[in-house]
Structure 1
C-alpha cells in the first residue's frame, strides 16, 4: 500500500482522494484540509511565499488550535476584557501576546511580515526567545479580534501575555537544559576514562580486542551527548543557515559534528585519535554556559512574575455600617472601603482613612525598614501592612496601580537590547565568518602538507576560536550591572542607560520632590482680603485636591468641591468653587485673573503660593519642603566628575536660589514652564552637551523624553505615564550617585572582557592553525576563556562597604 503524501503546510498525511491544493513556489502542493489550504493561499496572496523556503519545521494545522480561542475571539473587542493587557496611547493601542506554534525563525519572520502588511498595524515585533509578540495598532481600523484572527489564518494561536506563564515556560526550558547538562557531564567522565586508556602516553599494555572494546564504548557513550544533549545547537545551526544567518551555533555544530564523524571513522578503522573526550568536554562547557544564561533569564522572568502575584486573591470590604465581609479582588471597585489587618497584603492603591501602622514596601522600593503610615497617607497595592489595622479608600485597581506600572517598566527593560550588546553580536558574527574562511584556507594548506592531520587541525581551530567569550563579554556584564542597580533601588527601563551614563557631562535637576522630599507642609496662611484663614484654606484645598502635583498633598482632604479645574503647567490651577472663579499658584498667573498687579512676596523663607478670585488676591499660603539628606552627596558626586549642574524649577520663590546656593549648583532658574525647561535643555544639547535629567516623572515628561538620559523619582504620581529611562524606586539620591560608579565599572569590565576575548582568539588562532593545539586543549582553552569572562563580570555584584550597610533594592529582581 502506497504511503500517503504529507501535507505541504502542516506535514500530516493527506487523505486519499483529497482535492485540497494550493500553488506554492511555482508548483501545485497537496494539502490535507481546507484549513491548510486557506492558510497556504493567504501566505501566497500576502507575498510571503518565501516562508516555505526558510522554515525548519512544518506549521501547526489550523484545525488543531484551541477551540475556546475561536469561540471567545469576539470577546477581545470588549473594553473590560482588554483592560488588563491592552494599553492605549492616543490613537494607537499596544499589547503583548503569547504566540503558540512557533517552531523556527521563519515563523517569526512570517508573523512580523504578515502583521506589518495589515492596514492599521504600526509595529509588530516577535521575541523568539520567549515567543512574545509586541504589537502597536489602530484598534479603530483593526479590532483586536480581527488581529487575532489574522494570526490564526496563518496557523498561529495567540493569547494575552502573562509574566507568570512566561516564567513557567522558561523554568521548563531550564529543567530540560539541566537534564542535558547532567547527562553530558556524567557521560563525558565515562568517555574520558575510556579514551584516556587508549592514549599512547599512558603506555598501557592492552590487548587488541580490549583496545577495540574501549573505542566502541567511547563511541556509544558519546552518541547520547551528540544526539540528545546537543540537539539545540544543531537545530539552531540548521535554522540559521536556512534564514541565511551566521551564528555561534553554526561553528559549534561543525566542530561537534565533525569531531563525532571523525571519531566514528577512527573507531571503525582503528586508526587515528578518537577525540570523543574533546566532543564531550566541548559540549559540557557550552551547555553549562547556556544553562547559566537561561537561569539568568528565568530569574528575571520570575522577578516579574512574583510582582504580578503579589496581590491577594481576596480582601475585606466594609459596608455602609462598617461591617466587613470577604470578597474576591476582582469584585473590588473604585471608592470602596477596605479593612487591611496586620500581616495582610494591601489589595489596591488607596488612601488611608483611619488607622495607624507601618507598611513594608521593600518588595517595590528596596526600603528594608517598614515606613510609618497613617490617615491621609497613600499606600500601594502589593505592600505589606505590618502593625495595626488600616481602613483604606480604593483609588486605583488592576492595570492602573503603581505595581502594574512597575511590572510594565520591568518588561519594557527586558525587551530592550543595548546598542553595545547589538554591536558585540555583529562583531561576533563577522569574527565567525573570518574564522570559517581561515579554517577553510588552513584545511586546504594542511591537506597539501599532511592530509592525515588536516582534519584535526581544522577541528581544533574551530573549537579554540569559538566566539563564546566574545558573545558573553557584553551581556554578562550588562546583566550583572543591571542586577546590582536593582539591589540599590534603581530600576532601568531602557537598555542604553548604563552605556549613556558614561558620556553625560551635564545634570539638570527639578526641585520639588526631587532635590527636596516633596512632602510639603503648610506653615502659614496670610489673608489679604475679607475672608478668614480657614475659608481661604478650604478654597485652596478644593482646587489642589484635583491636582497630581506633590504640592497638592500639603492641603489634605477638601471640605468643598471644585468644578472645571484646569492645570496650567508650571504656573498653577484655576477652577470654580461655590461660584468663585479661583486661581492658585504663581503670583503673575493668579494676577491675570483679577487684572491687577500681583502683590510682592512678603518673605523669603518657604514657597509662597497666591490664592485669588476674579475680584483680587485672597491669601498667601506658605509651604515648607525639606531638602533630601543625600542631595549634597549627589551634587558632590557630580562635581567630582566635572559635570555641569543646573536647577530648573517651576517654583518662582526665593527657595530655588537658596537650594542652589546651599548645594553648590552651577545655575538655577525658577518660574519655568515645562516648555521653557525643554527649550533650555535643547539649547544645552545644541552646544554639544550630553544631558541627564532628574525629575518627578510626570510634570517633567517633555524634558525627560528629550534628555539623553532621564531618571524619574519613584514617588512620581503616575509611573504608568513616565517616559524616563530609569526610575529611582528607592527615592534615595545616593543610589543614583552609586549608579555613576556602577556604570563606570561596567564599562571598564566590558572593555576588559572584549579585550581578553579578542586577545585570546587572536593568539590561539595562529597556534591552532600551525597544529600546536589539539582539539582537547582547544576545548579546555575555550571553556576557561568563557569562564574568565563570566567571573570578571560577577565582580560587579560586589559593593563598597558603605553600600553594603544599606542592603536596599529590588530583592526579587536579582538576575
Structure 2
C-alpha cells in the first residue's frame, strides 16, 4: 500500500497553499492581554474531530477559548499573551494530529475543491472494483455449489484479490490517512474502526484464499468503502455550498477609490492606501468605497443592502455615508473616517463570523452518537477476541469472530440514518420551492418555536409595486417608463420595470438629486422629485392617502402625474402568517426600515411584536435574548443587514432574491413570490426529524441484536457484511417510505 500511495497523486493540502509568513500579522489583539487567531485546520473529517481539538487545546496553558467551525474547517482560538503564543498553539494541534495554518478563505476553497475531486476518484475506483468483484462472486455461485472445484474457487478468489487489494489501497486513503493521524496523536475517530475493519477483512480474505478456504470477503471490504466514500463526498458538497461568504463580501467591498489629491487632481488608488482624513470622489452609479462624511455635493444614497432602509437617503454636506451603499444620482466628495478596516461593512462581517462560529458548536444527532462509536467498537472486538481465547478457542477463529464484530458494527446504518432522510426530505422541499444550504438544517428547522421576519424583501416583494397601475393613462405610463430608463434612482428603476419600457428617450439629461428630462415633440418632459416637476400639491395628497408609499413625479407640458410606489406584501403573506400562528409559533418582525413603514405591515398580518429602524447588532441582541429564554429562533430575511442575524439564529431562511451574503449565511433559500414555502419547510422538517430519530433507533436496535449474535460466533464475516448492508437498506427504505408522508405533512 505504501508504494501505491507514493505513486498516486495526493489532493492538495493546506500546507501547499498556506502563506509561510510571520504569524503575528494574522493575530488580532482583543485588549486586556488577550489575542485571537483564525486558523485553517487540515485533517478535520467529522464532528468527532471537533471535541478532540477543543478539549486538547483547553489543556494548553493560557487558552481562553477555542471554537471549531466544521463547515469551513476553521479554528478560532483566543489566548493570554503572557502565557502562550500562536506557534505553541499550532504545535499543540500538531501533537493532536492536525496541521494548522493562518485562515484564508480562498486557500481553503482551493483545498476543498481538490479534496472533493480526490474523493470522487476514490469513489469511482471503489465502485468499479465493487461491480467487478460482485460479478465474479455471481459467476462462482450462479451454478451448483457442488460442481465448483477447489481450483476454480481459488482462481476466482485470487482474481478478486488482484482487483480488491489495489482498489482498497487507493480508495481507502481518505480513511487510512485520517486514522493514521488520529492514532499518531493517541486519539480515536470514526475512521480508525473503518480502516481496521477494511484492512482486517482484506487480510483475512488473503489468508483464507492462501489456505484454500471457502469464503473470501473482498467484496464486503470494497462495498463498505464505496458506501462510506459516497457519504463523505456528499458531505463535502454540502460544506462547500455554505462557504461563499468571502466572495460575496468582496462583491460589495470596493478594491479602489478615486482620491482627491491636494492640488485637486484625481487618482485611482487601492483602498488599502486610503486613510482617515483623505478626500474621495464618489460618482453617480458607484458604490461608496469608504465610511465618511459628505463635504460637498448632493445625492440620494441607496443603503438598503446595509441598513435595510428602503427610502433613499438624501445625502448632503455633513451627512454620513457608508461603504457598500450605492450612490444613485449626484457626485459627492467624502471625507474618509474608515476605509480598509473599521467600516460598517466590516462590522457586519465580524458579526457574521462570530454568529457562524457560535452556531458551529451544534452537534448533529448522528455525529454525537458516532463520538461514542469508535471506543465502544474497539473495546467490544478486543474483548470478544480475548474472551474466545480464554475459553480455549484457537487464535485464528477467535480473530475471525473479532473481525466479524468490527464489520457487523461498521457505521453504515448510523452514517445513513440522517443523510437518507435528508435526501428524501430535500426532494419534498425542492417541490415546495425550498433549497437547503446546510446539511443539518432539517434538524434545526424541526426545533423552531419562534419566527422572526424581516420586512423589506421578505414579507414584502423585493421590488416596489406601482399603485393604481391599471387606472393610469397608457401614454403617460409609457413616456414615464422611457424617462425612467435614463435614471439611476431605485424608484425610477421600479417605474421602468412596471411600465415595461424597453427603449429610453433620446437626449436624456439627468440632473443629480432632482430627476431626468428630455424633449418630446418639442416640449420638455420631466421625471423626478415633486419640486422638479412642480407637483408638490399632488405629491402631498398622495402621501396623505398612502403614508407608507414613496412618490416620483412626471410632467410634460401641462400634463402632471404623481406615481405612488410602495412595498407590497407577498400575495399569501396573510394566510401563511395566520397558519404559522395557528401552528403555535411565536412571530415577530425586526426590520431596518423605518418604524412607520413596519407598523402597518405588522397590523395587517396580525403580528403583535414588531420593531423598525434596527441595526444589525440590535437584531442579534434580540435573538440572543430569545435564545437565553430557551427559544429556538428561525430568522427569515434577505438583506446584508440581516446576514449576522441569519447566522446567529438557530436556523435561517432567505428568499432567492436576497443579497448574496444573506444567502450565504442562510441555511435555506426559497423561490418565488409566495411566503408559503417557509411554512412548508417547517412542516416537512418536523416530519423528517421524526424519521431521523426513528432511523437512529433502527440502527441502535440492529446493533443491539446483531452484535451479541456476532460475539457468540454464530455469524461469519460474509454474513456480517450482508447484515451490515442490510441494515443500511432498511434505514434507506424507511426514509423512502416517508416520501409521500413528508409531502402530506404540508
State the TM bucket, normalised to the shorter chain.
0.5 to 0.7
Q: Secondary structure at the match of 2:111?
A: helix
Partner residue, 1:317: 258
* 1:28 aligned partner: none
Q: Secondary structure at the match of 2:410?
A: coil
SS in 2 for 1:122: strand
Matched, 1:637 2:579: yes
Of 210, 217, 225, the residue aligned with 2:167 is 225
Counterpart in the other structure of 1:704: 623
Choose 701-710 or 230-239, whichever is displaced more: 230-239
For residue 263 of structure 1, what is the aligned residue in structure 2? 205
Distance 2:54 2:596 in 1: 58
Matched, 1:248 2:190: yes
Specify which of 415, 423, 434 is matched with residue 471 of structure 1. Answer: 415
- Output aligned runs, 1:800-815, within 5 Å: none
My pick for the range that moved more, 316-325 or 736-745, is 316-325
**Cα distance in structure 1, aligned partners of 2:403 and 2:210:** 20
CA drift at 1:636: 0.6
Higher normalized contact order (CA 8 Å, seq sep 6+, divided by chain length)? 2
Which secondary structure does the structure 2 equivalent of 1:218 belong to?
A: helix
Question: CA offsets per residue over residues 703-746 of structure 1, 9 Å max, x none?
Answer: 32110244375447585699841566547976654553354244
Partner of residue 120, structure 2: 178
Post-superposition offset of 1:269: 1.8
Q: What does 1:740-759 correspond to in 2, within 5 Å?
A: 740-759=682-701
Distance 1:783 1:383 in 2: 56
* 3-state SS of paired residue (1:289): helix
- Partners of 2:195 and 2:331 in 1: how far apart? 63
Match of 2:21?
69
2: CA distance between counterparts of 1:181 and 1:782? Answer: 19
Q: Encode CA deviations 1:564-618: one digit per residue, 9 max, x unaligned.
A: xxxxxxxxxxxxxxxxxxxxxxxxxxxxxxxxxxxxxxx99979xxxxxxxxxxx
SS in 2 for 1:277: helix
Alignment of 1:345-424 (within 5 A): 348=289, 400=343, 402=345, 405=348, 409=352, 412-413=355-356, 416-417=359-360, 419=362, 421=364, 423-424=365-366
Question: Structure 1 pair 211/134, CA: closer, same or farther in 2 (3 Å)?
Answer: same
- CA RMSD across the alignment: 6.6
Equivalent position of 1:13 in the other structure: none
Deviations, residues 228-268 of structure 1 (Å, cap 9, x unaligned): 33244345445556666554334323322222222222222
Q: Tell me if structure 1 keeps the 8 A contact 2:403–2:717.
A: yes
Which residue of the partner structure matches residue 147 of structure 1? Answer: 85
The 3 A distance-change label for structure 1 pair 347 and 276 is: farther
Q: Distance in 2 between matches of 1:90 and 1:243?
A: 33
Which residues of 2 match residues 683-702 of structure 1 at below 5 A? 697-702=616-621
The answer on whether the counterparts of 1:308 and 1:404 sit within 8 Å (CA) in structure 2 is: no
Aligned positions of 1:422-571 closer than 5 A: 423-430=365-372, 459-474=403-418, 502=446
SS at match of 2:78: strand
Residues 110 and 406 of structure 1: CA distance in aligned 2, closer, same or farther (over 3 Å): closer
| SS of equivalent residue, structure 1 residue 337 | strand
Q: Distance in 2 between matches of 1:183 and 1:244?
A: 31
Indicate whether 1:161 and 2:103 are aligned. Answer: yes
Aligned residue among 279, 284, 294 for 2:226: 284
Q: Relative to structure 1, is the Cα distance of residues 271 and 307 closer, same or farther in structure 2, using a 3 angstrom cutoff?
A: same
User: Residues 355 and 662 from structure 1, CA distance in 2 versus in 1: closer, same or farther, beyond 3 angstroms?
Assistant: closer
SS, match of residue 271 in structure 1: coil
Render the CA deviation track for 1:520-558: whole Å, top value 9, x for unaligned: 9xxxxxxxxxxxxxxxxxxxxxxxxxxxxxxxxxxxx99
> TM-score under structure 1 normalisation?
0.54
- Alpha-carbon contact 1:489-1:729 (below 8 Å) kept: no
Task: Map 1:533-612 to 2 at 5 A.
Answer: none
CA distances 1:112-153 after superposition (whole Å, capped 9, x unpaired): 75686455x421345699663312346xx569xx83354477
CA distance in 1, matches of 2:274, 2:102: 22
Cα 1:509/1:791, change in 2 over 3 Å: same
Instruction: Work out the CA distance in 2 between the residues paired with 1:650 and 1:756.
Output: 47
- 1:69 match: secondary structure: coil
Number of residue equivalences: 594
1:122 corresponds to which residue?
A: 64
Verify the 8 A CA contact 1:349 1:401 in the aligned structure 2. Answer: no
Name 1:688's counterpart in structure 2.
none
Report if the CA contact (8 A) 1:314-1:328 is conserved: yes
Partner of 1:336: 280
**Distance in structure 2 (CA, Å) of the matches to 1:714 and 1:628:** 15
- Are the aligned partners of 2:356 and 2:648 in contact in 1 as well (CA < 8 Å)? no
Match of 1:463, SS? helix
5 Å-filtered alignment, 1:177-216, equals 177-194=119-136, 198-199=140-141, 201=143, 203=145, 212-216=154-158
> What secondary structure is seen at the aligned counterpart in 1 of 2:617?
coil
CA contact (8 A) 1:307 1:403 kept: no
Q: Which moved more, 1:162-171 or 1:778-787?
A: 778-787
Instruction: Tell me if structure 1 keeps the 8 A contact 2:57–2:66.
Output: no
Whether the 8 Å contact between 1:225 and 1:283 is mirrored in structure 2 is: no
Corresponding residue for residue 294 of structure 1: 236
The Cα shift of 1:165 comes to 0.8
Change beyond 3 A, Cα 1:651–1:438? closer
Q: CA deviation at 1:454?
A: 6.2
Question: Cα offset for 1:223?
Answer: 2.2
CA distance in 1, matches of 2:425, 2:29: 30
> Mind listing any 5+ residue stretches in structure 1 that lack a counterpart?
1-61, 77-81, 521-556, 559-602, 608-623, 675-694, 805-815
How do residues 732-743 of structure 1 correspond to structure 2 at under 5 angstroms? 736-743=678-685
**Distance between the aligned counterparts of 1:113 and 1:489, measured in 2?**
37
CA distance in structure 2 between the aligned counterparts of 1:626 and 1:437, rounded to whole angstroms: 63
Q: 1:430 to 1:253 in 2, by over 3 A?
A: same
- 1:419, CA displacement in angstroms? 4.6
TM-score by length of 2: 0.58
Q: Secondary structure at the match of 2:115?
A: helix
Partner secondary structure for residue 97 of structure 1: strand
Residue number in structure 1 paired with 2:540: none
Q: How does 1:91-102 map to 2 (within 5 A)?
A: 94-98=36-40
